[in-house]
Structure 1
Amino acid sequence: MNKVALYSNLGFSWNSSNNVWVKGIFFEPPEQYYSGADTLMYFEGVQSFDEFLIKLKQCNGLFSVVIIHGDEIWAAVDRNTSFPLFYFRNSLGWSITDTVDMQLMLDNKFEVDAFQVQCYKAFSHTMGAETLFKGLRQMQCGQAFLLRKASGNPEIKNYHQFSTDTFLELSEKELYQQANHIFNNTLRRLVISLEGRTAVVPLSGGFDSRWIAAGLKMQGYENVICYTYGKKSQNQDFELSKKVAERLQYPWVFVEYTDELINKSYLQSQTFQDYVQFMGHGTSMFFLQEYFAVSYLKEHKLVPDDAVFIPGHSGDLIGGSQIIKTFNPNISREEVPERFFKVKNIYQPVSKETRKKLEGQFKPWFLQRENHHPASVFEALDIQEKIAKVIFNSSLVFDFFGYEKRFPFWDLELLQFFLKLPFEHRVIKKLYDSVLINEFFKPNDLLFGKELNPRKKELLRQKVKNRIKAYFPVFIKERLLQKNDWKNYRQAVKPLQDEMKSKGYNFQFKGKSYNEILIQYYLFLIKTRLR
């Protein structure tokens, strides 16, 4: 017998009725807003899987949905996997769940997938729909799941394509005007979705979170709290974010990452152990970056229980930050697979054989998009893999502590506009930055002498530095990490490192990033608890 097992009600709760389960908030064009139990109304009358796909295409927001319709099961996650869903088959039939923990692994006797472990060490996430466990798969962003009782095997359909073969054909002036219009539409929808609750903006020194804060001010929304975290020293976000909040006249909280705040006792807490499983769920690296800040805000009651967190994910990407930095817009179709798996392999190096195996795994994916622009295909794969599984997944920290979240840069109208924008307007975020600076920052006096917004020369210079740095001895790489450790990550990961060593789980720290230790710690937990 097939089973739907949805247990996670942190941040957002599941709403269910008549074999329909929906979680999240979203808009239906043009401006119909759904939240709470109202989300069920949007899906309850659907009579076919094709109709379900149409509904998903129109859905603009954060959501996951599961429907049992006669002998079929339909399910989907949104365009950034805000609320992950998984599926597997055992002797009783197929199961769909939102909870992947050690108990699920033990109950179903899942075996660790050695190939995906290699991928996880190399990329900080598994690849494709696979997880670290054989037979357990994840639904991916922009995809829908169909299980027919007659066939017995699930079918996966794309209801959203992130790559394209057509681009907007408008003048630069028209593109600018349209971008500004869509930015304001997005902000209006964001304000509607807040329903008067406190908006909490994790304010860095960059443009993305600054736009959110400035945009809320320009929409007349005053119920806003900004916060920043990290060390006071080595922290460029500290001064810039403080200035932004002061000029917008929003309250600003700084959570200082002192050694006293981040001490080894966190490792023994049940809260942290639950957090690791909640964030990792067999596919993704868990982050510690925001963990201590959100925990502190909650513990000290600095934000209301019904507050909504609004991070800036992933504005810079749609703006064009990855162009030049990781790929050339003139990249050929043949170059995309090799370039992607090479440039995204930032942790443990993979062999040529592993890379070839990955290219084979994704060959059908590339064939489905063979008529799309190669650079657009590169970005689409980046969104499906790293952006969904690492960047957006990191925001599950807000859910874990009981808060809702919003992703205004993934508003459907905004997303579709920028991903169809000709690349010449996206290189070094040309149009994106122009609109933000002239329409949002200048009117609010939010431009400062030195910005954390690298230009083309700086990006090219950094690429050269990174190539040289790769040949440095590990001890020099570690010194460079410590020098730029504004998050006090060395202090945060040391207890993890010490525990692994005490249990005889040794690995070679390459000195590239403290994330290497987080990756290894999750694998260490799996190895020790699934014995």
Structure 2
Amino acid sequence: MVLLIEKDRGWKSTKIKNIKVYFSGKIDPKILEDLVIKLKNKSSNLTTKQIKSDLIKFKGNFSIIIMLNKNYLLAVVDRVKSIPIFMAKTEKSLFLGNYAPSLIKTLANKKIDHNSLLSFKMSGYCIGRNTLYKNLFQLLPGEACLIRNKSLKYISYHSFIKKDKIFTDSKEKLSKKLAKMTLSIFEEIIKNNKSKKIVVPLSGGYDSRLIASALYHLNARDVVCFSYGKKNNFEAKVAREISSKLNFPWHFVELNNKKQSQNFKSKMYKDYTIYSDTLGSWSYIQDLFAIKELLEKKVINKNSVIINGNTGDFITGGHLPGYDRKLKDKKSRLNLIFKYISSKHFSLWENYFSRNQYNLINKLILKSIPKSLLNIGLEEDYKVYEYVEFINRQSNYVIQGQRQYDFLKIAWELPLWHDNYLKFWNKVPFELKYNQDLYKFMLTDNNWGDVWQKIPVNNYHISPKYIKYLRNLFKLFFIFKNRNDWHNFDKKYISYFTELVPYYPYFNYSDIIKEKKIARNALAWHAEDYLKKKDLIL
């Protein structure tokens, strides 16, 4: 067994009872020491159940690798896989480490996983613990792996979908529970970051506004908010109003097409994509360039903590499918859920993938779902969708966006992925989760900072105005045509200019309009570019 730890990724090492331990994130030293001692003293008799009972004691965002000897190792990631761990297999050995490209370099026989390649091109990420290579894997959220004498055993100590009893309380009562728990999470974050400047990426939606307003309600000190994108975009206007109401300093970083084109050509961007590469998804770059500029202008410094809103809209029910829940046939309901998954998450190119390819993706997704979840009752079958999005898009792609902050060497927190939030939202019934009903009710009812009842949420409009008027003019030519014809025209010819935060300018506009395929958004192009650079195009 070979262990490869890249030292520039925020990982630390220590020795406990002469046992080498590598870790990243915030670890309770007493819980870690107890686990190491138990592994050392009961190495041959320790059961999976006993290991699980210790792993569930760890809280927050972390990864741990305990190297008991060259043939005995335990590795574990947190409940959302915020800090990934990878494994590579050969006929003669096992490799384990914190950076996928380092592991793949050690393998003489690199077999491309063509199913994962298809998934990547359709969605921008791989399914489950798979990567683009057959012999390279990653731990799932809430999972550990135990390696003994070249044998590898996966241990799931936490499931995103747990068999908890669904709440039966009224909306009002649950709202009070949720509000109390939410504030307790932020109290914990404020306490743990007393010496740091708190930095909030603020938009016009719910999640980042929750963060800013909760911090205000709890009298947090030294808070600064920022927004970014095209000048005068609606998100920035709302964010400025919120910040003003809360009396928090607010900064705007303009990212127009020209500036983004330069950003994407920069050495910093190239270095970041190398640093953040998991071989399982494209690099998430939401606020990378904005934070870099704020650092350069000394608005923030390295002694800061970034608190973003990822991914409140998902965990609170904003992505749930609106299928007919009166339908009693379980197979038909699951088919509707899988159809929704395909259309929402595996259609980066609108008019390109075949029915056979979609069928293959559905089989791969089905294979990745625990049997116990597929046997769940009709009243909770929406959790199949939640599990699929969490294990794939959220943990493999969105949550990996925290690498932006690691790359820039800034601390971060994920309050809306807090362990208590995971537990609470797992128990909320569909009716209160769908369209974020309970979440929105709680926020409006509490109205922290007085920013929830009068300031609009997600009041989308296109900017700059001349693009809006030009777009409406083009739309007139499609009055008597199929609606899809207009949407395809809009995506191919106009979206390049209407993104609030431009991601298309990495590419030439002429190449985009020449392409026969219709991209849902810029991610389709970035995912394909990633594969081309690795010589992995289908």
TM-score range, shorter chain: 0.7 to 0.9
Q: Secondary structure at the match of 1:23?
A: strand
Q: Secondary structure at the match of 2:100?
A: coil
Letter paired with 2:230: K
Deviation at 1:6, TM superposition (A): 1.5
8 Å Cα contact 2:519-2:525 kept in structure 1: no
CA distance in 1: counterparts of 2:508 and 2:409, whole angstroms: 27
Letter paired with 2:454: F
Q: Secondary structure at the match of 2:215?
A: helix
CA distance in 1: counterparts of 2:194 and 2:33, whole angstroms: 19
Aligned to 2:388: 381
Letter paired with 1:396: R
Aligned to 1:363: 367
Deviation at 1:409, TM superposition (A): 0.7
8 Å Cα contact 1:200-1:310 kept in structure 2: yes
Letter paired with 1:278: Y
- Which piece of structure 1 moves more, 515-524 or 73-82? 73-82
Deviation at 1:54, TM superposition (A): 2.1
The alignment status of 1:438 with 2:435, answered yes or no, reads: no
8 Å Cα contact 1:323-1:329 kept in structure 2: no
The alignment status of 1:485 with 2:491, answered yes or no, reads: no
Structure 1: where are the runs of 5+ without partners?
27-33, 455-467
Distance change (3 Å), C-alpha of 1:364 and 1:240: closer
Deviation at 1:523, TM superposition (A): 0.6
Aligned to 1:86: 86
Distance change (3 Å), C-alpha of 1:289 and 1:412: closer
User: Which one of 33, 44, 58 corresponds to residue 36 of structure 2?
Assistant: 44
8 Å Cα contact 2:277-2:283 kept in structure 1: yes
Per-residue CA deviation, residues 154-209 of structure 1 (Å, 9 max, x unaligned), is: 22222112224531222333212211111122112211222431111111111100
Pairing of 1:192-211 with structure 2 (within 5 A): 192-211=191-210
8 Å Cα contact 1:247-1:446 kept in structure 2: no
Aligned to 2:25: 24
Aligned to 1:463: none
Distance change (3 Å), C-alpha of 1:469 and 1:163: farther
Letter paired with 1:524: K
Letter paired with 1:73: L
CA distance in 2: counterparts of 1:329 and 1:450, whole angstroms: 31
Structure 2: where are the runs of 5+ without partners?
40-45, 461-481
CA distance in 2: counterparts of 1:121 and 1:216, whole angstroms: 40
Deviation at 1:76, TM superposition (A): 1.6
Per-residue CA deviation, residues 197-238 of structure 1 (Å, 9 max, x unaligned), is: 1111111111100111111122221121111000114x2111
Aligned to 1:68: 67
Q: Secondary structure at the match of 1:262?
A: helix
Distance change (3 Å), C-alpha of 1:292 and 1:154: same
User: Which one of 309, 314, 317 corresponds to residue 317 of structure 1?
Assistant: 314
Deviation at 1:474, TM superposition (A): 4.8
Pairing of 1:236-275 with structure 2 (within 5 A): 236-259=234-257, 261-264=259-262, 266-267=264-265, 269=267, 271-275=268-272
CA distance in 2: counterparts of 1:306 and 1:43, whole angstroms: 32
CA distance in 1: counterparts of 2:325 and 2:492, whole angstroms: 33
CA distance in 2: counterparts of 1:240 and 1:38, whole angstroms: 45
RMSD (Å) for aligned C-alpha atoms: 3.0
Q: Secondary structure at the match of 1:261?
A: helix
8 Å Cα contact 1:3-1:96 kept in structure 2: yes
The alignment status of 1:298 with 2:279, answered yes or no, reads: no
Distance change (3 Å), C-alpha of 1:368 and 1:445: closer
Per-residue CA deviation, residues 316-363 of structure 1 (Å, 9 max, x unaligned), is: 1121111246x5666745424454334321213543333333344333
Distance change (3 Å), C-alpha of 1:345 and 1:471: farther
Deviation at 1:307, TM superposition (A): 1.0
Q: Secondary structure at the match of 1:50?
A: helix
Aligned to 1:279: 276
Letter paired with 2:456: K
Deviation at 1:24, TM superposition (A): 0.6
Pairing of 1:7-22 with structure 2 (within 5 A): 7-10=6-9, 12-17=10-15, 18-22=19-23
Q: Secondary structure at the match of 1:280?
A: coil
Aligned to 1:147: 147
Aligned to 1:459: none
Aligned to 1:231: 230
Letter paired with 2:189: L
Deviation at 1:122, TM superposition (A): 0.3
8 Å Cα contact 1:16-1:40 kept in structure 2: no
Per-residue CA deviation, residues 293-314 of structure 1 (Å, 9 max, x unaligned), is: 1221222222121211111011
Distance change (3 Å), C-alpha of 1:80 and 1:508: farther
Deviation at 1:432, TM superposition (A): 0.8
- Which piece of structure 1 moves more, 42-51 or 397-406? 42-51
Aligned to 1:340: 341
- Which piece of structure 1 moves more, 194-203 or 86-95? 86-95
Distance change (3 Å), C-alpha of 1:265 and 1:257: closer
CA distance in 2: counterparts of 1:351 and 1:395, whole angstroms: 34
Distance change (3 Å), C-alpha of 1:38 and 1:194: farther
Pairing of 1:81-120 with structure 2 (within 5 A): 81-90=81-90, 93-101=93-101, 104-105=104-105, 108-120=108-120
CA distance in 1: counterparts of 2:484 and 2:400, whole angstroms: 28
CA distance in 2: counterparts of 1:288 and 1:189, whole angstroms: 27
Per-residue CA deviation, residues 397-443 of structure 1 (Å, 9 max, x unaligned), is: 111111121110111112211121011111211111111122243x4
User: Which one of 391, 394, 405 corresponds to residue 398 of structure 1?
Assistant: 405
CA distance in 2: counterparts of 1:424 and 1:180, whole angstroms: 19
8 Å Cα contact 1:328-1:375 kept in structure 2: no
Deviation at 1:471, TM superposition (A): 4.1
CA distance in 1: counterparts of 2:218 and 2:8, whole angstroms: 31
Distance change (3 Å), C-alpha of 1:294 and 1:364: closer
CA distance in 1: counterparts of 2:326 and 2:428, whole angstroms: 15
Letter paired with 2:528: Q
8 Å Cα contact 1:84-1:138 kept in structure 2: yes
Aligned to 1:77: 77
TM-score between both structures, scaled by the size of structure 2? 0.84
